[in-house]
Amino acid sequence: MTSEFVRLEVADGVGTIRLDRPKMNAISLQLQAELRAACAEATERDDVRAVVVYGGERLFAAGNDVAEMSEMSYVEMVRATRGVSEASTAIAQIPKPTVAAVTGYALGGGCELTLACDIRIAAENATFGQPEVLLGIIPGAGGTQRLARLIGPSKAKDLIFTGRFVKADEALAIGLVDKVVPADEVYTEAVAWASQFKGAAALALRAAKECIDRGLEVDITTGLSIEQQQFAAVFATEDRAIGMASFLANGPGKAEFVGR
């Protein structure tokens, strides 16, 4: 599909999913569809080994398109809700390491997109929040679920119930972000993190991510069963043979993986 607001840029093994809908990267239904397509492309492309989700130098995304939503009836929203949720889920389901590079505002749907990434690197000027209750609604793209899993239910309830904004230093303290850097270093830091994986054992990373993400949704016995299945499965990969042979010959960290 032709994309107006979202593009996938690939360089040296790192794919950047760039949101670009001036002025505030408001997340419209069209942007959501384009984001799902970009995530599908990043998943399929063998030259993409890790993904950065980025809203640009000024801000990440200030939220869903309220003007668009305000005109929607209950019936229309019932039809649209699945797509709203699937945009963030599309990021979460990329079977490769993902990192949100956050500058400025990441609010509402924008915050939910960051929650779908594996880690979040924020600018010192970043501001997060789930202010939906201030509009008489609730988060609808994973905020009530992923936020509670990330920072715990009490902190998640505080943010969602009050709709208050969280600056970068507090976001780091409560575990909402993983690293805070100067604004002009955010994208570079995110790319550096993603670049670690351009020569990694891609199928092992995929298996590890699936074990962690699926394990969080089930009891520990089921989680351990998932882990056991994935542990055995990676023994069918070329990278497992390469990695073990390299370890025996040269010690750890010297294998040259092929991603198969």
Q: Inter-axis angle of helices 202-215 and 220-233, to 10 degrees?
A: 170
Q: What is the pLDDT of residues 106-164, one digit of tens each?
A: 999 999 999 999 999 999 999 999 999 999 999 989 999 999 999 999 999 999 999 99
pLDDT at 2 over 70: no
pLDDT score of 1 = 55
Based on the residue annotation, tell me whether 112 is a catalytic residue of this protein.
yes
Q: Map out the domains of the chain as residue ranges.
A: 6-195, 202-250
Helix (H, G, I), strand (E, B) or coil at 85: helix
Q: Which residues contact 157 (CB under 8 A, 6 or more apart)?
A: 148
Q: What is the pLDDT of residues 199-230, one digit of tens each?
A: 999 999 999 999 999 999 999 999 999 999 99
CATH for the 6-195 domain, from 3.90.226.10, 3.40.50.2000, 2.40.100.10, 3.50.50.60: 3.90.226.10
Based on the residue annotation, tell me whether 132 is a catalytic residue of this protein.
yes
Catalytic residue among 34, 112, 189, 227: 112
CATH for the 202-250 domain, from 1.10.12.10, 1.10.1060.10, 1.10.3720.10, 3.40.50.300: 1.10.12.10
Strand pairing category for 14-19 and 6-11? antiparallel
d(CA 53, CA 193): 12
Q: Which residues contact 181 (CB under 8 A, 6 or more apart)?
A: 121, 122, 123, 124, 189
Catalytic residue among 34, 132, 189, 227: 132
